[in-house]
């Protein structure tokens, strides 16, 4: 702490402090304000084995200076470390002395400070060990005023009673200091504050590095953190001993024990730190010797304090030896150019210089001098820099390695992508010839070249079976790749496992030819259904049964199942060659088989069981194997059960060839009528021939094209009914061809079925986005091809029939519309004609009054105008436009007229109506047509409103436009009706009008350059919103 205190207070230069002589210190000429504090050095009176109460006037005191009393003699006899004594000093003070205080330093025992009128105890001094209560603490004692009665003549009689029975040194170990009370207290508080901050810094350094070690273990970080905590303990326990500020009554023995315990730990922790930094320069045996040697001194702490404090020279001497060894190690590290060795050497020199000085002075006097603190602070901060540089270098190395790893990872990803592309392209190249082999062979078997003999048909069936086996292998490779990329999506539904097992056994039956092998399905009939993808479960069973057939020359293969909790365990058991124990887990890995001889003898790629395992796990189950060499194998897997009923598969137990033939012959091609033609587009001749043979055998006309441009020409010239289109073609691929087709034909007019060896999801999506109707993956079965062709042909036929029916429906709707319009016109004309007739009949009466006759003629005139308006509406609509003739009118007068017309429409029916006006002035409108348009909307409202109805009209101006809002609280307009609300000749509900009203309203609004729209919620009313642009008049 003294490191900081020397720079934090005022500096008093060119001063010579007075020294006490024969127990008297003359300070009468000392200016405390100008010259600062006084160290009470010099000759004190010393009374050995006497307290103040024991001293007589005739007793002759000894002379002593501040320091350990066991370095002096009294009455010709050496003073031992144990005993008690009184120090006395008379201080002559200036008359104008300020309020003063005395700082008492470490005593390492018990003391009582006595001044005139006041005493202060540090512990309890006594004449024996039993009556002494030691306490180590520094403190400041404020003195009475110098002009008080207790201090006559401005003389301070300072007496200090000290007893020591617990430490190797006794007496007034540090020189007391006299100064102004305020300044002395402030200085002590400042020293304590800085020492506390220093301890806090070391503790934070230590804890930070220990936490860092937990996050990222590193021996140097750990031991540096521990070393910082040890040094923090040293700062707290010595010097200003700030631990007593927190624990003022801390027992002396506990305090001293921890002080020496902390001292002993310095060497072991520093040795471990040195080894962690320079393991190649500090031999392990030497490190162990330093650590063990340092820890051995802990044994001294079991002795009484008076004893082990005398032997403190031993750990201090060992510390000096450690410093010399460490210096040699660091110099060696610098010579060998170890990283950060130079920085560590500089820090260590600072630490060693301060520590050696402290040790030497501490042996002679106190252990709390500023040199070691200065060295420790410099070392700690320099060492933090060393570790920071090491971490920085490590971070740079990590960045470099991360960059290299990222580069290598990108290379691996690029290679993995190339591998995926290779597999996809290889599958395409394999699928194309396989499709040709299987397709041509099937067409030969089906009689495209005439009837063949039984032997030829058997050979053809073997070719077909071999081709499909190879196609299955290609599918396994692609499924393996999909599973790796997680591209497979299961289509889950209830599946009848027993029926599915029957199908798999039937399909696999041809593989057992030439073997004395029986296959049996022992799954019980009441077996619950499982929830899964039927095709994938069939693939699982086919892989397991195919393996069983492959590795079983004779015997039996059995499929069984049992329920375990909510899972169904399905077993495939064979009597084949079996699997060794060490290979039973390996066979489920990719490209693994039981041994190399198995591959040579039986063939295979080693991915079938890997795909099977991944498919089972994708369903939420697991797969295992039980086997012994020579005793067969049992593969069993689990699938989740479901309570839903699965639909059983019909007639599964048939031979493979029979199954295929029956499936092919069952396809109905009736959707194709004479004159229909299928266009086959493929650049591979063998693929075209397969399709031609298959379709021609079903009496379907076929046209061939070798590429996209030729196909487009044929489509223009011959209009085919269906296009079978290959994707991978030169010059113009299938997607581009389909896009060109869609420019002239819709998918319903000309269906397009893509044919490709690619079966990725993105390929299917691309095909549909290009305008395709369907997507068929090569190699495909004949039955599947014919089914897809039949489906698209049927859809096209249905589309053609729909067009014909639609034309008939449109014609009928036109006639119905004309009928409705005629009825509406008759209805609309009937009322005014009837009124005119009635008025004429009344006018013919004899003796009619002139006024009444005039009113009748006016009414006849109005009704005639109404008829003319209706006729004009029909004429306007027939001409396709409404004639608008604008004139300048007063808006208020227009609204008055409109309101006057509304009143007889609504009031007799009990309907409340309002006209809210927020606009006036002159506007330019076709008054006659616009008011008729508004009345048309109001008239529609009267038809739906009840006696509690309400009709509100709001008019306002906004941004050069006049807005009319006409709103009612009626039943509203359904959404399906709103779409045709403004269409002509469309009536809704029970309305019997012409259906032209709202259509003409829209025409009138549009003729004014405005717009109209309707908002309506069923059950909450309807609002018509009309905006008309107007110019300021």
Q: Which pLDDT tens digit goes with each residue over 150-165? A: 677 788 889 999 998 8
Residues 6+ apart with CB under 8 A from 93: 27, 28, 100, 146, 151, 154, 155, 156
Measured distance CA(261)–CA(289) in Å, rounded: 19
pLDDT of residue 651: 44
Measured distance CA(386)–CA(399) in Å, rounded: 20
Region 914-933: mean pLDDT is: 86
Measured distance CA(596)–CA(594) in Å, rounded: 7
Residues 6+ apart with CB under 8 A from 231: 202, 266, 376, 380
Q: Answer with the residue of higher pLDDT: 892 or 234.
A: 892
Other beta carbons less than 10 A from residue 927's beta carbon: 18
Measured distance CA(173)–CA(68) in Å, rounded: 5
Element (H, E) at 387: helix 370-445
Measured distance CA(425)–CA(282) in Å, rounded: 62
pLDDT of residue 678: 92
Measured distance CA(443)–CA(693) in Å, rounded: 6
Between the ranges 215-219, 373-377, 986-990, where is the mean pLDDT highest?
215-219
Position 927 confidence tier, pLDDT thresholds 50, 70, 90: confident
pLDDT of residue 4: 33
Region 908-922: mean pLDDT is: 87
Q: Return the minimum-mean-pLDDT range out of 305-319, 360-374, 559-573, 1015-1029.
A: 360-374
Q: Return the minimum-mean-pLDDT range out of 453-467, 905-919, 977-991.
A: 977-991
Q: How far, in Å, are 62, 134, 435 from residue 48 at the CA level? A: 8, 18, 120
pLDDT of residue 928: 82
Residue 190: name the closest of 33, 376, 2 by CA. 2
* Site of tokens 């901060």: 381
CATH 3.30.565.10 maps onto the chain at 488-656, 881-1029
Contact 789, 776 (CB under 8 A): no
pLDDT at 531 over 70: yes
pLDDT at 358 over 70: no
Position 740 confidence tier, pLDDT thresholds 50, 70, 90: very high
Residues in the chain: 1033
Other beta carbons less than 10 A from residue 582's beta carbon: 9
CATH 2.60.120.260 maps onto the chain at 17-182
Measured distance CA(226)–CA(202) in Å, rounded: 10
Region 793-809: mean pLDDT is: 79
pLDDT of residue 656: 40
Tell me the percentage of the chain whose pLDDT exceeds 70. 75
176 token code pair: 């007391």
pLDDT of residue 314: 82
Region 159-174: mean pLDDT is: 86
168 token code pair: 């190797």
pLDDT at 254 over 70: yes
Q: Return the minimum-mean-pLDDT range out of 107-121, 943-957, 992-1006.
A: 992-1006
pLDDT of residue 712: 92
The secondary structure of residue 1011, as a DSSP letter, is E
pLDDT of residue 285: 92
Name the pairing type of β-strands 554-564 and 567-574: antiparallel
Average pLDDT taken over every residue of the chain: 78
pLDDT of residue 810: 58
Residue 995: name the closest of 1004, 984, 1005 by CA. 984
Residue 570: phi and psi, rounded to 5, are: -105, 130
Flag whether the pTM goes above 0.95.
no
User: What share of residues in the chain are helix, strand, coil (percent, to 5)?
Assistant: 50, 20, 30
Domain 881-1029 matching CATH 3.40.720.10: the answer reads no
Other beta carbons less than 10 A from residue 338's beta carbon: 16
Q: How far, in Å, are 149, 253, 257, 292 from residue 131 at the CA level? A: 34, 15, 21, 39
pLDDT of residue 967: 93
pLDDT at 654 over 50: no
Tell me the percentage of the chain whose pLDDT exceeds 90. 11
Residue 762: name the closest of 722, 727, 725, 723 by CA. 727
815 token code pair: 């006639």
Calculate helix-pair angle for 850-879, 997-1007, nearest 10 degrees: 80
Helices (H), 446-529: 454-485, 497-508
Residue 313: phi and psi, rounded to 5, are: -65, -25
* Site of tokens 């009475």: 144
Contacts 24+ apart (CB under 8 A), 415-422: 420/481, 420/485
pLDDT of residue 965: 93
Residue 252: name the closest of 263, 241, 262 by CA. 241
pLDDT of residue 152: 73
Measured distance CA(680)–CA(707) in Å, rounded: 10
pLDDT of residue 638: 94
Q: How far, in Å, are 495, 695, 898 from residue 480 at the CA level? A: 23, 34, 80
Measured distance CA(956)–CA(895) in Å, rounded: 12
Q: Answer with the residue of higher pLDDT: 431 or 143.
A: 143
- What class is the 488-656 domain? alpha beta
pLDDT at 824 over 60: no
The secondary structure of residue 145, as a DSSP letter, is P
Mind listing the pLDDT tens digit for each residue in 274-329? 888 888 888 999 888 988 888 888 887 788 877 777 777 788 788 888 888 888 88
In a 13 Å sphere around the CA of 541, the CA atoms on its Cβ side amount to 29
pLDDT at 847 over 70: no
Q: Return the minimum-mean-pLDDT range out of 161-165, 336-340, 823-827.
A: 823-827
Measured distance CA(591)–CA(609) in Å, rounded: 9
In a 13 Å sphere around the CA of 803, the CA atoms on its Cβ side amount to 7
pLDDT of residue 783: 79
Q: Answer with the residue of higher pLDDT: 181 or 812.
A: 181
Position 188 confidence tier, pLDDT thresholds 50, 70, 90: confident
Between the ranges 410-419, 510-519, 563-572, where is the mean pLDDT highest?
563-572
Q: How far is CA 602 from the centre of its chain?
A: 49
Q: Is 914 exposed, middle or buried (0-12, 13-18, 19+ CB in 10 A)?
A: exposed
Position 530 confidence tier, pLDDT thresholds 50, 70, 90: very high
Measured distance CA(76)–CA(70) in Å, rounded: 13
The four Cα atoms 814, 820, 823, 828 give a dihedral, to 10 degrees, of -120
Residue 500: phi and psi, rounded to 5, are: -65, -35
Measured distance CA(71)–CA(171) in Å, rounded: 10
Mind listing the pLDDT tens digit for each residue in 553-594? 888 999 999 999 899 999 999 988 888 877 767 777 655 444
Region 923-948: mean pLDDT is: 84
* Site of tokens 């094209």: 705
Q: Is 455 exposed, middle or buried (0-12, 13-18, 19+ CB in 10 A)?
A: exposed
Q: Return the minimum-mean-pLDDT range out of 135-139, 360-364, 375-379, 933-937.
A: 360-364
Q: Answer with the residue of higher pLDDT: 939 or 37.
A: 37
Q: Answer with the residue of higher pLDDT: 495 or 824.
A: 495
Mind listing the pLDDT tens digit for each residue in 59-94? 678 878 888 887 788 777 788 888 999 999 999 988
Q: How far, in Å, are 537, 538, 1028 from residue 615 at the CA level? A: 8, 11, 68
Q: Return the minimum-mean-pLDDT range out of 225-229, 348-352, 864-868.
A: 864-868
Give SS3 for 917.
strand
Residue 640: name the closest of 535, 560, 534, 528 by CA. 528
Q: Which fold has domain 17-182?
A: Jelly Rolls (2.60.120)
pLDDT of residue 838: 62
Contact 750, 723 (CB under 8 A): yes
Q: Answer with the residue of higher pLDDT: 847 or 211.
A: 211
Measured distance CA(434)–CA(478) in Å, rounded: 15
* Site of tokens 């304000």: 33
pLDDT of residue 815: 61
pLDDT at 596 over 60: no
* Site of tokens 């082990």: 308
Query: In the sheet that 139-142 helps form, which strands lie side by side, from edge to edge?
Result: 38-39, 177-180, 100-104, 139-142
């Amino acid at each position: 702490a003294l490191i900081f205190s020397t720079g934090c207070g005022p500096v008093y230069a060119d001063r010579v402090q007075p020294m006490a002589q024969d127990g008297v210190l003359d300070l009468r000429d000392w200016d405390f304000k100008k010259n600062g504090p006084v160290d009470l050095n010099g000759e004190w009176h010393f009374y050995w084995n006497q307290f103040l109460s024991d001293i007589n006037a005739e007793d002759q005191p000894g002379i002593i200076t501040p320091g350990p009393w066991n370095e002096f003699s009294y009455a010709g006899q050496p003073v031992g470390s144990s005993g008690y004594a009184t120090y006395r000093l008379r201080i002559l003070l200036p008359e104008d002395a300020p309020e003063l205080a005395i700082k008492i330093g470490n005593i390492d025992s018990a003391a009582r400070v006595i001044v005139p009128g006041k005493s202060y105890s540090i512990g309890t001094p006594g004449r024996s060990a039993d009556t002494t209560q030691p306490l180590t603490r520094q403190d400041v004692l404020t003195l009475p005023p110098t002009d008080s009665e207790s201090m006559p003549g401005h003389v301070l009689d300072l007496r200090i009673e000290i007893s020591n029975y617990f430490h190797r040194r006794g007496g007034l170990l540090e020189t007391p200091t006299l100064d102004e009370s305020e300044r002395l207290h402030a200085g002590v508080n400042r020293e304590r504050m800085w020492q506390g901050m220093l301890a806090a810094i070391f503790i934070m350094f230590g804890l930070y590095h220990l936490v860092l070690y937990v996050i990222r273990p590193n021996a140097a970080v750990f031991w540096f953190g521990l070393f910082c905590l040890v040094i923090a303990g040293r700062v707290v326990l010595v010097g200003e001993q700030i631990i007593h500020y927190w624990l003022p009554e801390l027992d002396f023995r506990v305090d001293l024990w921890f002080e020496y315990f902390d001292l002993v730990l310095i060497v072991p922790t520093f040795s471990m730190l040195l080894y962690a930094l320079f393991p190649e320069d500090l031999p392990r045996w030497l490190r162990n010797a330093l650590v063990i040697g340092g820890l051995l001194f802990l044994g001294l702490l079991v002795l009484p304090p008076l004893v082990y404090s005398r032997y403190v020279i031993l750990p201090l001497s060992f510390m000096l030896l450690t410093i010399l060894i460490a210096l040699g190690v660091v110099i060696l590290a610098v010579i060998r150019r170890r990283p950060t060795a130079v920085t560590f050497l500089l820090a260590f020199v600072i630490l060693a210089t301060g520590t050696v000085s402290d040790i030497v002075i501490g042996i002679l006097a106190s252990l709390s001098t500023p040199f070691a603190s200065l060295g420790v602070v410099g070392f700690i901060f320099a060492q933090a820099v060393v570790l920071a540089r090491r971490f920085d270098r490590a971070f740079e190395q990590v960045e470099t390695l991360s960059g290299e790893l990222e580069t290598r990872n990108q290379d691996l990803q690029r290679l993995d992508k190339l591998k995926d592309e290779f597999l996809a392209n290889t599958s395409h190249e394999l699928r194309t010839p396989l499709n040709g082999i299987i397709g041509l062979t099937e067409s030969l078997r089906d009689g495209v070249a005439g009837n063949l003999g039984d032997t030829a048909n058997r050979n053809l069936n073997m070719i077909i079976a071999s081709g499909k086996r190879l196609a299955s292998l290609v599918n396994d490779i692609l499924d393996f790749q999909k599973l790796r990329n997680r591209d497979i999506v299961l289509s889950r539904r209830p599946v009848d496992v027993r029926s599915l097992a029957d199908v798999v056994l039937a399909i696999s039956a041809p593989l057992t030819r030439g073997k004395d092998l029986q296959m049996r399905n022992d799954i019980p009939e009441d077996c619950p259904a499982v929830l899964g993808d039927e095709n994938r479960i069939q693939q699982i069973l086919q892989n397991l049964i195919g393996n069983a057939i492959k590795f079983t020359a004779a015997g039996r293969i059995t499929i069984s199942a049992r329920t375990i909790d909510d899972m169904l365990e399905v077993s495939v058991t064979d009597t084949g060659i079996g699997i060794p124990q060490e290979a039973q887990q390996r066979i489920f890995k990719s490209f693994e088989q039981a041994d190399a001889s198995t591959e040579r003898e039986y063939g295979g790629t080693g991915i079938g069981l890997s795909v099977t395992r991944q498919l089972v796990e994708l369903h939420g189950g697991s797969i295992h194997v039980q086997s012994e060499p020579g005793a067969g194998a049992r593969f069993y897997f689990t699938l989740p059960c479901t309570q839903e009923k699965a639909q059983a598969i019909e007639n599964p137990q048939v031979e493979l060839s029979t199954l295929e033939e029956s499936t092919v012959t069952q396809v109905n091609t009736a959707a194709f009528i004479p004159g229909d033609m299928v266009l086959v587009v493929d650049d591979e001749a063998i693929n075209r021939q397969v399709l031609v043979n298959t379709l021609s055998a079903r009496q379907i006309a076929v046209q061939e094209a070798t590429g996209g441009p030729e196909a487009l020409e044929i489509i223009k010239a011959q209009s085919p009914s269906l296009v079978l289109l290959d994707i991978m073609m030169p010059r113009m691929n299938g997607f581009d061809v389909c896009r060109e087709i869609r420019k002239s034909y819709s998918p319903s007019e000309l269906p397009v079925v893509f044919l490709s060896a690619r079966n990725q999801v993105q390929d299917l999506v691309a095909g549909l986005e290009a305008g395709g109707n369907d997507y068929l993956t090569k190699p495909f079965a004949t039955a599947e091809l014919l089914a897809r062709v039949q489906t698209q042909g049927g859809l096209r036929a249905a589309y053609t029939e729909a067009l014909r029916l639609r034309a008939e429906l449109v014609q009928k709707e036109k006639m119905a519309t004309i009928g409705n319009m005629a009825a509406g016109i008759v209805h609309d004309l009937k009322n005014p004609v009837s009124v005119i007739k009635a008025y004429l009949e009344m006018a013919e009466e004899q003796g009619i009054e002139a006024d009444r006759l005039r009113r009748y003629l006016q009414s006849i005139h109005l009704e005639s105008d109404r008829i003319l308006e209706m006729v004009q509406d029909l004429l306007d609509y027939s001409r396709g436009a409404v004639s608008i003739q604008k004139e300048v009118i007063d808006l208020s007068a227009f609204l008055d007229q409109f309101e006057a017309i509304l009143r007889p429409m609504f009031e007799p029916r009990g309907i409340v109506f309002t006209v809210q006006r927020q606009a006036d002035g002159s506007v330019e409108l076709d008054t006659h047509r616009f008011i008729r348009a508004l009345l048309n909307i109001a008239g529609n409202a009267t038809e739906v409103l009840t006696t509690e109805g309400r009709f509100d009209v709001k008019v306002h101006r906004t941004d050069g436009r006049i807005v009319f809002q006409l709103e009612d609280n009626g039943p509203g307009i359904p959404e399906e009706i709103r779409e045709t609300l403004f269409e002509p000749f469309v009536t809704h509900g029970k309305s019997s009008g012409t259906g032209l009203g709202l259509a003409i309203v829209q025409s009138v609004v549009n003729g004014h350059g405005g717009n109209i729209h309707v908002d309506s919620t069923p059950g909450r009313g309807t609002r018509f919103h009309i905006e008309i642009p107007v110019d300021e008049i």
